[in-house]
Amino acid sequence: MTIAELRAQLGNPTYTVRTDDEIKAQAEQQYAAELAAKKLAAQQSYDATDTALKNQYATLDQSYAKQASTVATNTRQSYSAADRQALSRGMQRSSYNNATLSNVNLAGDKAQSELQQSRTNDVNNLESQRSTLARQLAESLQGYDTQNQSNVLAYVNTLKDQDYQRKTAAEQNAANLALQLYQLQLSQQEYDALYGSKTRSSSSGNKPKAKATTGGSIFDNVDNSAKAAQAAPAQLQSIYTGGYIPAKTLFAATVARTNASQKKKK
């Protein structure tokens, strides 16, 4: 890889860590469909069961209305039978007959009251079942939300760790590239020291000497020496790609080495 190529890669932006809001939004999106599906299933199950319970109200009304009508009919028939019997005996206006007819009416009223109480109990039972069903739905939805929050938090931590690993890898890669650039620059200087003077002396003739380049950044002349570095002996083109060294340290060391070399040439 040439110096120019190394410089180009070092100029590329490193990995950009996502913001907390971006990570949270991604984590919530990860589980949004699952949460919605669970809530929808729970709501549909509740609606189906609750509808079935509500339909039982109409069934109860019909059943008890029919029973109440039967009790009323039986009461009237019993009253008429008792009254006819008293009439046949000539006791229609007697206190005994009045008591008998009163007892018939009381029995009918008691039967109606018992029916009404039974209906009330059944209605209360339905209301209790519906209340329990609604409470279970609320608990299920809350449980889904709690589990979703736990899942989102865990995924947020995963994404943050992922960003950290990627950023660290990008920084490591940038440091290795800087180290390669540093080593390649040293190789170029060694090549110039070994072969540059011979080349200049053999080709100078009567031509005026080239003006030495001094000062400036380490990168001012590296592109011009890329081809020469590639033509250097293989042992001078070797690139070290070892452990992590901060890029700033490498650049500072290279600048210092280059400036010192330039001062010697003066």
pLDDT digits (tens, 9 = 90+) for 112-163: 999 999 999 999 999 999 999 999 999 999 999 999 999 999 999 999 999 8
Mean pLDDT per 10-residue run, the chain (266 residues)?
66 76 94 96 96 92 91 88 75 74 87 92 95 97 97 95 87 79 77 64 47 37 38 36 41 50 50
At 51, list the tokens. Answer: 């509808």
Nearest Cα residue to 236 out of 196, 178, 177: 196
Q: How far apart are CA 76 and CA 234, in angstroms?
A: 123
DSSP state of 239: -
Does the pTM surpass 0.85? The reply is no
Rounded to 5°, angle at Cα 204 from 200 and 208:
115
Q: How far apart are CA 32 and CA 148, in angstroms?
A: 8
At 164, list the tokens. Answer: 């950290």
Q: Residues 6 or more apart from 212 whose CB is under 8 A from it?
A: 262, 265, 266
**Cβ 189 vs Cβ 261: under 8 Å:** yes
What is the tally of helices (H) and strands (E) in the chain? 6, 0
Using CA atoms, how far residue 170 sits from 11, 133, 160, in Å, is 13, 55, 15
At 209, list the tokens. Answer: 């000497």
